[in-house]
Structure 1
């Protein structure tokens, strides 16, 4: 029974991470600034597209 709830928990984390990663891509696509004017958060979001855990966290910021 505990394994079942553990699997549900990790599946929820996977879904939340995937949604955050998609939010991150959406925010980066709609930033509307030239590359030369990007700040630290935009650069981290660009890196986060390749590093999915970082992108998932930054998608909610």
Structure 2
């Protein structure tokens, strides 16, 4: 289950090796709030392409 910034939730099916590319525009953001509601183990890896980003990295 994915939760969005406004509280909306939706469910998706994922297959091993599936990749997505999201273009996040200037002043926009991406929220990663996932919950595994299925029976299989899931592992996600998010990669941010800093050189191509319209936004400055957030401080750690």
**TM-score, normalised via structure 2 length:** 0.21
Higher normalized contact order (CA 8 Å, seq sep 6+, divided by chain length): 1
Q: Flag the structure with higher strand content.
A: 2
Q: Flag the structure with higher helix content.
A: 1
Rg: which structure is higher?
Answer: 1
**TM-score, normalised via structure 1 length:** 0.21
